[in-house]
Amino acid sequence: MEFGYSLLCEQTPPKQLITDLVGAEEVGFDYSVISDHYFPWIEDLGHSAYAWSVLGALAQATDRIKLMTFVTCPTMRYHPAVVAQKAATMGILSDGRFTLGLGAGENLNEHIIGRGWPSADVRHEMFREALEIIRSLFDGGFVNYRGDHFRVDSAKLYDLPERRVPIGVAASAGRAGRIAADYADALISDQPVADVVRDFKSGGGDGKPVYGQLPLAYGADPDEARQRAYRLWRWGTAGWKVMSELPGPTSFAASAKTVRPEDVAEAVPSGDDVQKYLDTVQTWADAGFTHLSFCQVGADHQEDFRRWAAAELLPALRERFG
């Protein structure tokens, strides 16, 4: 397995995202992922930098570590032809280190353009069309497209990287998994969904990477770490069908009012017990994931996490998982 470092734009000031990744590269993480939000999940997180500006800076501030969006929605805030242009430019700036992670989006971020929030069926139709447009533009030459949701009039990318930008597609259930099998160079999920991974592999994704993300709250004081996880990650237990529909941070806060600290503790391992993390990663490995990124909860606890990861977590992970 390869192990990554998550940059959560919703909890971290923009400049710190740069220094955090420089530090992650120095201590030996294999790759990184960055969220692409307009809003934080809850007000307590307090940030929401524009991920693509940060990515350009990351490409220049680092040398080795791979970069990836986790994930960008190419259907509402961004037209897919513009996403293709941004991704191609990142492929060049990063010297081939960039992967374009894409998903069907959340109301939280996409409602801002005032077009309402389509049903899941329509969102997946839009997502398929967006993927067709992006892949066509990556092929080079002029692209014209007329779909039910998108049109492209004679578009062309004049700056394409030597290495075609790989496309990852996020899926947590069957319908999105089928889209990933049809269009993706990699599968992405924030849950260890073994059934989706099996379907992806049998549908054409065999041998392709599978990316996951694990939120955690490392800390030498277990009680503080659990409390921090509850305060900043209580929104994350509702499940994707609910989370994709909620329109703003106050909605997420309201949906989390009945969430208990023990509910968060089941989803977000905390403390400094390496064995606990190894056992959690085993669940992802058993589900067929080849890549797993760690999302440390709390912007002011990133440096401590990196120091501990370099000394204890990463060596233990590589001894067990290769």
Residues marked active site are found at: 37, 106
279: nearest Cα among 224, 317, 233 = 317
On whether the CB atoms of residues 267 and 243 are closer than 8 A, the answer is no
- Measured distance CA(274)–CA(170) in Å, rounded: 28
Residues 6+ apart with CB under 8 A from 55: 34, 67, 69, 90, 98
CA 55 to chain centroid: 13
Give the chain's end-to-end CA distance (angstroms, integer): 6
The 3-state DSSP class for residue 51 equals helix
